[in-house]
Amino acid sequence: MKKIWNSLLIRSIKLNCKRLMLRTIHMGADIDWLDKNGMAPVEYACIYENYDLLKILVNAGCEINWKDHNSLCLYLAARNEYKLLWALIQRGLDINADTYRGSTALYWAVQENSFESVEVLMKAGAKVNMLDAEGLSPLYCACGDGNNKVVRLLLKYHADVNLEKETSVLMIACCFGHYSTAQILLENGANVNFCDEDGRNVLFHSRARRDSAPKTYLKIEELLYSYGADDSVKDYRGISAKDMEDSKIRKMIWNELVGE
């Protein structure tokens, strides 16, 4: 009989039926029961964005941290449910647990541009310089989006602008044409002459993209030069950013990058 109540508990969430949920809990449904998909009621409440029902489960004493995943923190952070996120942090929610592909709730909050959640997580002690499975940081994600508000917040909490080993936050900002983001990073000590695994520095990547948006990338190139960018550094093929003043070489490199 308990299995039936457990199933009805999940159904009450999918239907967003508060009355049915309360009934199933009253009848002894296991609020931490995992269904055939290995998912708990609290996860379904997050997926279906039924946060009123989520609060009922939390108040009933459901588990808010799991050994193998930390979906509750992830969902709340990504959807910017920062008030509930903060309340659960006070009750012991693990904000630095690895989730999908080695990322944390902070990474997902940044990715979804959930500024308030990012702020809550930082105040609660989220590790700002953790890398995901691909070796990327939350700051890298923010720079790729050109989200300067989040970038400044992460830097306030000591995000490392030179943390990545195979690429860099400055490189991704420049590649996407985010001039103001690049300027913020350079002002905070980003290495203007960082080279990727192919020996290509930030200036090289920016110049390769010049023809796609000349005004934007010429402005970025000027900024990089002002911070000491070296256009003589050669990549694995012996080509430098200086060589790419030649439009034919620039086009060749661009086609190669696009092919990657």
Spans of all domains in the chain = 1-63, 64-160, 164-260
Alpha carbon dihedral 91, 96, 99, 100, in 10-degree steps, equals 140
Nearest to 250 by CA among 192, 193, 209: 209
Note whether 207 and 243 are within 8 A (CB). Answer: no
Mean pLDDT of 114-137: 93
CB atoms within 10 A of CB 112: 16
CATH numeric code, 164-260: 1.25.40.20
More confident residue, 75 or 232: 232
**Arithmetic mean of pLDDT, 116-142:** 94
Q: For 64-160, CATH number?
A: 1.25.40.20
| pTM of the model as a whole | 0.84
Residue 190 and residue 162 in contact, taking contact as beta carbons nearer than 8 Å? yes
Alpha-carbon distance of 36 to 97, in angstroms, equals 24
Residue 69: predicted pLDDT: 52
- pLDDT of 260 above 80: no
Lowest-confidence pick of 1-5, 41-45, 112-116, 221-225: 1-5
Which class is domain 1-63?
mainly alpha
Q: How many CA atoms lie within 13 A of 82 on its CB side?
A: 18
pLDDT in tens, 93-121: 888 877 666 788 899 899 999 999 999 99
Identify the CA nearest to 205 among candidates 188, 213, 217, 222.
217
Q: Tell whether the model's pLDDT for residue 253 goes beyond 70.
A: yes
pLDDT tens figures, 59-103 = 888 888 765 555 677 778 888 889 888 988 988 888 887 766 678
